[in-house]
Amino acid sequence: MKDFQDYKNVWIFAEQRDLELMGVAKELLGEGYRLSRGLSGDSKVCAVIMGYGVSNLIDEAYAYGADIVYTMDHPLLKNYTTDAYAKVLSEAIKSYKPEIVLFGATHIGRDLAPRVAARLNTGLTADCTRLDVNTSDYMDYLEKNTTASLNGLDRNDTSTMLKQTRPAFGGNLMATIITPNSRPQMSTVRPGVMAKLERDDSHKGIHINVAVNLEDDDIRVKVRDVIIEAKKIVSLTDAKIICSGGRGVGSKEGFKLMEEFAETVGGMVGASRGAVDSGWIDQSRQVGQTGTTVKPKIYFACGISGAIQHLAGMQESDIIIAINKDPDCPMMKIADYALEGDLKQVIPEIIEQWKSN
């Protein structure tokens, strides 16, 4: 066994874009806080904020749980580039020796983290959805949520190796990955799965400004422009949220309500063949065996009975919410949340409460 005593603390790459902390950075601070309290001694959770003119973000990082905030502030860090960020971050990791480094699995995190891990000759686990240092917590998780056997695991085990759990093979398989022989232990973490701490503006920590050693020649690409596009979901398969309506929607008029619903929750309108055949909505929106197969984060099935041909196109959705008058129809049986009621009353209520949230 190698001796890793020098390595301490949990680092969060607190990604900012246009001087705003990304949501996943706050989630990682929450997760990092939880992990750091399970590690030995006085382990801390530290936010690493890179960019140009980032000092305004320090208090926010404290508010979401950071004990220490490292800033690397430099004109050449204004736009993200692999070269500049990898150099500055690798050097900082070498000198401060964190035990764990977490990145959001964003297009930037997944560009930067592998490069840094390769430079430091350490392991990197991709797109994690669960992290544990405590063996007993990890065993609870396995028992409750998975088919894994607990063979070889011991609830009294006090070692605090990071157990990094992630989906692979298109989500068909889960794996827990460890990094036993090198430090830091590094992971990218899927946005939207870890819990933020409640924002506490009275929480303060320590700020350390890290000197940045960068020159123009270090950066071998030129970012000419960064273009932000209003998110326009073009196809059902890309939609994170789908609000599908069936024959229970009742009319063309009813699909106007579905449109408003989708707009409010940031989703896209889908439909059953029952609704398409009634002429209330275009065939391109049909979900199912003879329509599109979808796997959104949330699938709202409103007034859809759940015929097998419809289920074939949506049953892999992360969360299925059924709204139906009939508590015994198949859709209500397979739903994660089955709301019994008249959609004409329930949907306006969701719209109103969603907006006020």
Ligand X SMILES: Cc1cc2nc3c(=O)[nH]c(=O)nc-3n(C[C@H](O)[C@H](O)[C@H](O)COP(=O)(O)OP(=O)(O)OC[C@H]3O[C@@H](n4cnc5c(N)ncnc54)[C@H](O)[C@@H]3O)c2cc1C
Q: How far is the CB of 185 from ligand X (least distance, A)?
A: 11
Q: How far apart are CA 162 and CA 185, in angstroms?
A: 7
Distances (CA, A) of 159 to 2, 142, 153: 14, 18, 11
Nearer CB in complex with ligand X: 158/345: 345
Return the residues of window 15-54 that contact ligand X according to CB under 6 A: none
**Residue of 232, 272, 223 lying closest to 52 (CA atoms):** 223
Rg, Å, the chain Cα set = 24
Closest Cα to residue 269, out of 257, 254, 283, 259?
A: 259
Query: Which residue in 275, 298, 321, 350 binds ligand X (CB under 6 A)?
Result: 275
| Site for other proteins, residues 297 to 326, rule: CB under 8 A | 297-298, 318-321
* Residue from 131, 129, 98, 101 nearest 114 by CA: 101
Site for other proteins in 115-174 (CB under 8 A): 115, 117-119, 121-127, 142, 144-148, 163, 166-170, 172-174
- Mask: binding to other proteins, 80-99, rule CB under 8 A, as x and -? --xx--x-------------
Task: Figure out which of the listed residues 36, 81, 185, 286 binds ligand X, where binding follows CB under 6 A.
Answer: 286
Under rule CB under 6 A, residue 126 binds ligand X: yes
Tell me the closest approach of the beta carbon of residue 229 to other proteins, in angstroms: 4
Is the distance from CB of 303 to CB of 343 less than 8 angstroms? yes
One residue of 130, 310, 321, 350 binding ligand X per CB under 6 A: 310
Which among 39, 342, 26, 349 has a CA at the least distance from the CA of 185? Answer: 39
Least CB distance from residue 353 to ligand X, whole Å?
A: 18
Q: Considering the rule CB under 8 A, would residue 182 count as an interface residue with other proteins?
A: yes
Distance CA 101, CA 272 (A): 45
Residue with tokens 């964190």: 98
By CB under 6 A, residue 118 contacts ligand X: no
Which residue from 37, 221, 290, 308 is in contact with other proteins, where contact means CB under 8 A? 221
Q: Does 124 bind ligand X (CB under 6 A)?
A: yes
